[in-house]
Structure 1
Amino acid sequence: MMNWEQLLSLRKAGDTNKRLRKEQNETRLGFEVDYDRIIFSSAFRSLQDKTQVIPLSKTDFVHTRLTHSLEVSVVGRSLGRLAGQKILEKHPHLRTIHGYQMNDFGAIVAAAALAHDIGNPPFGHSGEKAIGEYFSNGNGKRFKDQLTPEEYQDLIKFEGNANGFKILTEDRPGIPGGVRLSYATLGAFIKYPKESLPHKPTTNIGDKKFGVFQSEKEFFKEVAVELGLISTGESKNARFHRHPLAFLVEAADDICYTIIDFEDGINLGLIQEEYALEYLIKLVKDSINTKKYHNLETRADRLSYLRALAINTLITEAVEIFLENEEAILKGEFHKSLFDKSRYEAQIADIIKISVDKIYQSEEVIGKEIAGYQMLSHLLDTYTQALLPEEGTAPTNYNRLVLKMIPNAEEYEDLSVYGKLIKVCSYISSLTDSNIVASFKKFKGLKI
Structure 2
Amino acid sequence: MNWEQLLSLKRYGDINKRLRKEQDETRLGFEVDYDRIIFSSEFRSLQDKTQVIPLSQTDFVHTRLTHSLEVSVVGRTLGRKVGAKLIEKYPHLQTIHGYQANDFGAIVAAAALAHDIGNPPFGHSGEKAIGEFFKTGQGLQYKSQLTAKEYQDLCDFEGNANGFKIVTESRSGKEGGLRLSYATLGAFTKYPKESLPKKPTSHIADKKYGFFQSEKNLFLDVATELGLLKTGSKTDCSFARHPLTYLVEAADDICYTIIDFEDGINLGLIQEEFALEYLINLVKHSINSKKYHKLSTTQDRVSYLRALAINTLIQEAVEIFLDHEEDILNNNFSTGLLDKSKYEAQINDIINISIKNVYKSQEVIDKEIVGYKVISTLLDVYSAAVINKSLNQASNYDALLLKSIPELNFSESNSTYQKLLGVCHYVSLLSDSQAILKFKKIQGISL
Q: TM-score normalised to the size of structure 1?
A: 0.98
Equivalent-residue separation in structure 2 for 1:99 and 1:392 (angstroms): 57
- Residue 408 of structure 1 aligns to a residue whose secondary structure is helix
The Cα shift of 1:28 comes to 1.1
- Residue 389 of structure 1 aligns to a residue whose secondary structure is helix
Counterpart of 1:326? 325
Equivalent-residue separation in structure 2 for 1:395 and 1:40 (angstroms): 37
Q: Which moved more, 1:92-101 or 1:385-394?
A: 385-394
Counterpart of 2:405? 406
Counterpart of 1:210? 209
Alignment CA distance shift 1:392-1:234 (3 Å) = closer
Runs of 4+ residues deviating >6 angstroms: 390-393
Query: Is 1:379 paired with 2:378?
Result: yes
The Cα shift of 1:169 comes to 0.2
Alignment CA distance shift 1:21-1:34 (3 Å) = same
Alignment CA distance shift 1:12-1:391 (3 Å) = closer
- Residue 244 of structure 1 aligns to a residue whose secondary structure is coil
Counterpart of 1:158? 157
Deviations 1:118-160 (A, max 9, x none): 0000000000000000000000000100000000000000000
The Cα shift of 1:295 comes to 1.4
Equivalent-residue separation in structure 1 for 2:314 and 2:280 (angstroms): 16
Equivalent-residue separation in structure 1 for 2:391 and 2:245 (angstroms): 48
Query: Is 1:310 paired with 2:327?
Result: no
Equivalent-residue separation in structure 2 for 1:411 and 1:400 (angstroms): 13
Q: Which moved more, 1:48-57 or 1:406-415?
A: 406-415
Alignment CA distance shift 1:97-1:363 (3 Å) = same
Equivalent-residue separation in structure 2 for 1:390 and 1:129 (angstroms): 27
- 1:41-56 equivalences under 5 Å are 41-56=40-55
The Cα shift of 1:301 comes to 1.2
The Cα shift of 1:406 comes to 1.9
The Cα shift of 1:394 comes to 3.1
Q: CA RMSD in A?
A: 1.1
Q: Percent identity?
A: 70
The Cα shift of 1:45 comes to 0.2
- Residue 311 of structure 2 aligns to a residue whose secondary structure is helix
The Cα shift of 1:392 comes to 7.9
Amino acid at match of 1:308: A
- Residue 404 of structure 1 aligns to a residue whose secondary structure is helix
Alignment CA distance shift 1:393-1:126 (3 Å) = same
Equivalent-residue separation in structure 2 for 1:9 and 1:57 (angstroms): 41
The Cα shift of 1:299 comes to 1.3
The Cα shift of 1:184 comes to 0.2
Are the aligned partners of 2:30 and 2:107 in contact in 1 as well (CA < 8 Å)? yes
The Cα shift of 1:233 comes to 4.1
Deviations 1:293-313 (A, max 9, x none): 111111111111100000000
Amino acid at match of 2:9: L
Amino acid at match of 1:297: S
Counterpart of 2:393? 394
The Cα shift of 1:407 comes to 2.9
Equivalent-residue separation in structure 2 for 1:171 and 1:246 (angstroms): 24
Q: Which moved more, 1:295-304 or 1:371-380?
A: 295-304
Are the aligned partners of 2:390 and 2:412 in contact in 1 as well (CA < 8 Å)? no
Are the aligned partners of 2:79 and 2:247 in contact in 1 as well (CA < 8 Å)? yes
Equivalent-residue separation in structure 1 for 2:394 and 2:227 (angstroms): 49
Equivalent-residue separation in structure 1 for 2:296 and 2:133 (angstroms): 51
Alignment CA distance shift 1:151-1:292 (3 Å) = same
Amino acid at match of 1:219: L
Q: Which moved more, 1:6-15 or 1:287-296?
A: 287-296
Equivalent-residue separation in structure 2 for 1:316 and 1:408 (angstroms): 45
Equivalent-residue separation in structure 1 for 2:143 and 2:393 (angstroms): 21
Query: Is 1:201 paired with 2:193?
Result: no
Alignment CA distance shift 1:445-1:190 (3 Å) = same
- Residue 230 of structure 2 aligns to a residue whose secondary structure is coil
- 1:47-196 equivalences under 5 Å are 47-196=46-195
Deviations 1:86-133 (A, max 9, x none): 000000000000000010000000000000000000000000000000
Equivalent-residue separation in structure 1 for 2:402 and 2:391 (angstroms): 19
Counterpart of 1:263? 262
Q: TM-score normalised to the size of structure 2?
A: 0.99
Deviations 1:307-346 (A, max 9, x none): 0000000000000000000000000111100011000001
Equivalent-residue separation in structure 1 for 2:383 and 2:391 (angstroms): 15
Give the gaps of 5 or more residues in structure 1. Answer: none
Amino acid at match of 1:345: E
How many residues align structurally? 447
Equivalent-residue separation in structure 2 for 1:61 and 1:257 (angstroms): 15
